[in-house]
Structure 1
Amino acid sequence: MMQVENPMVRPIAEKNNHWGIDACGDEILYGDTIYEFPDGEIVLEENIREYLTEVLGATRKIAE
């Protein structure tokens, strides 16, 4: 007899993996690596360069 998974009985954490939204507007899921700044802003690790340059005005340079 083949057993079919009923989506109505999945664990709650699996249904609602949403943690929040970062400062760049991207969805944060439970388990994502985030950076929290002293002013309370939260940024996903993959958005940290964008946040530093576009929001905070940092300039990326090569040390010479």
Structure 2
Amino acid sequence: MTQVENPMVRPYHEESTHWGIDACGDEILYGDVIYEFPDGEIVLEENIRQYLTENLGAIRKIAE
């Protein structure tokens, strides 16, 4: 017999995990690693390279 959950009842652990949006436009969830800059910008760890190059003009190079 298959049990069907009542969609009107949400367990406590299914509350929203949305924390915000980072400077690159990606959703931040509670528990994500973020970087906060002095100007208030917030960037997800996985977007930090993109943020540095596109927003701050950093150039990625290989030391030779």
TM range (shorter): 0.7 to 0.9
What residue ranges of structure 2 are gaps of 5+ in the alignment? none
TM-score by length of 1: 0.82
Aligned pairs for 1:38-57 (under 5 A) are 38-57=38-57
Alpha-carbon distance, 1:21 to partner: 0.2
Structure 1 residues 61 and 40 mapped into 2: Cα distance closer, same or farther (>3 Å)? same
Structure 2 match to 1:63: 63
Q: Distance in 2 between matches of 1:59 and 1:52?
A: 8
Q: CA RMSD in A?
A: 1.7
Identity %: 84
Q: Distance in 2 between matches of 1:43 and 1:22?
A: 5
Q: Which amino acid aligns with 2:28?
A: I
Aligned pairs for 1:1-64 (under 5 A) are 5-6=5-6, 8-12=8-12, 14-64=14-64
TM-score by length of 2: 0.82
Q: What is the total number of aligned residue pairs between the two structures?
A: 64
